[in-house]
Amino acid sequence: MTLSARPTTSWLLPEDCRLADLREVLAERTRLEDAPHASRLEGEVPVYTADRLVAAGATHEEGRRAVLAEVAGILAHGPGIVVVERAFEPAVVDRVTAAFQGMIDEQRSAGTASGDHFAKPGANDRVWNALEKLAVADPEAFVDYYANDVLALAATAWLGPGYQVTSQVNVVNPGGAGQTAHRDYHLGFASDETCARYPAHVHALSQVLTLQGAVAHCDMPVESGPTLYLPHSQKYAHGYVAYRRPEFQEYFDAHHVQLPLAKGDAVFFNPALFHAAGTNRSTGIRRMANLLQVSSAFGRAMEVVDRQRVVEAVYPTLLARRVAGAGERAVVNAVGASAEGYAFPTNLDRDQPIGGMAPPTQADVVMNALAEGLGPHELHRRLDAHAQARLSH
């Protein structure tokens, strides 16, 4: 199963991006015969009804595998996105919406505006780690909501068993500006320069580590700004280093698909699909979606390592070596083997991505301390503060 257009090199560099190559990938059209359980195609996107999809996947093991393979094939080498109508019961959605609104009201009362990757703090409403907060606020609503068969089917189709669900509530208020086209987690949160440092096969791997989803918590007509998509764009090999370029943004703006959703509908898509939240041009719709980011069970190391303990043990040696004139590469390599070099998972209420897509990593804290010549005690203080900011509560 090909996940993206075959790269012609082991390295995918920004200077090698060509809009003509994306257009060639997008020339492929979605065929309804490749989505036999879908009710119709709408703007290149297969649209399913929840009852039919779940029933087909619940018949017997062979039938379930066929349904899972169908969904996975669409996400991988089809348009990269599926819509499931009536995926969640409206009454269940309403109860969870009330819990989410309570969280938003509490944030406003406390004067804490959650940061966002795109919008300015306070422009819209965002609830980070809504999954854990919902479990604590209303356990019964949580169980009713996450017992959902459609979510389990989509996550299993793309990731297999053992997946981990996270949730972020996003409310785009009337007049709220849309996003720019982008790809998503993991490489979608990295700069072009960082992405270019990863070999081509990792660009393909990044897609299969995460399933993106969204549940509509209100009716979303087009004027309210439901998400824009560019079907089949996940197959463009250079996409992670291309999407910020003006010509790609302009092409997306001119050729995207935007589908209205009803309350309880769900969308699931490959994180490498070019997409963007739309502008809310309505006068009275507070467009609320529960954004689901489901992670593969395999994105974890085999052993538990207390990396702060490791870093604090070796920091005096690193500092002494740096003072003695050790090469920068040697120091960077040693920090890379000892400190946590990735920003996630974290608590985005407190550890916010200010000035970029991701907050500082533990390795950033260590490298900054070395650059400032700080002693072990101050490093310990900074690492403790960094770790504290990442706790879920």
Each domain of the chain, given as residue ranges in start order, spans: 14-295, 307-389
Which of 45-49, 62-66, 117-121, 309-313 has the highest average model confidence (pLDDT)?
A: 45-49
pLDDT, tens digit, 9 for 90 and up, residues 282-310: 999 999 999 999 999 888 777 778 889 98
Spatial CB neighbours of 304, under 8 Å, sequence gap ≥ 6: none
- Torsion angles phi and psi, residue 266, rounded to 5: -130, 150
Helix, strand, or coil (residue 293): strand
HSE (side-chain half, CA atoms, 13 Å) at 87: 28
362-372 vs 328-338: helix crossing angle, rounded to 10: 140
* Distance in angstroms (rounded) separating the CA atoms of residues 86 and 344: 32
Checking if the pLDDT of 122 tops 60, the result is no
pLDDT, tens digit, 9 for 90 and up, residues 171-183: 999 999 989 999 9
Checking if the pLDDT of 130 tops 50, the result is yes
pLDDT tier, 1 (very low <50, low <70, confident <90, very high otherwise): very low
Checking if the pLDDT of 47 tops 80, the result is yes
pLDDT tier, 113 (very low <50, low <70, confident <90, very high otherwise): low
CATH fourth-level superfamily of 14-295: q2cbj1_9rhob like domain (2.60.120.620)
Checking if the pLDDT of 6 tops 60, the result is no
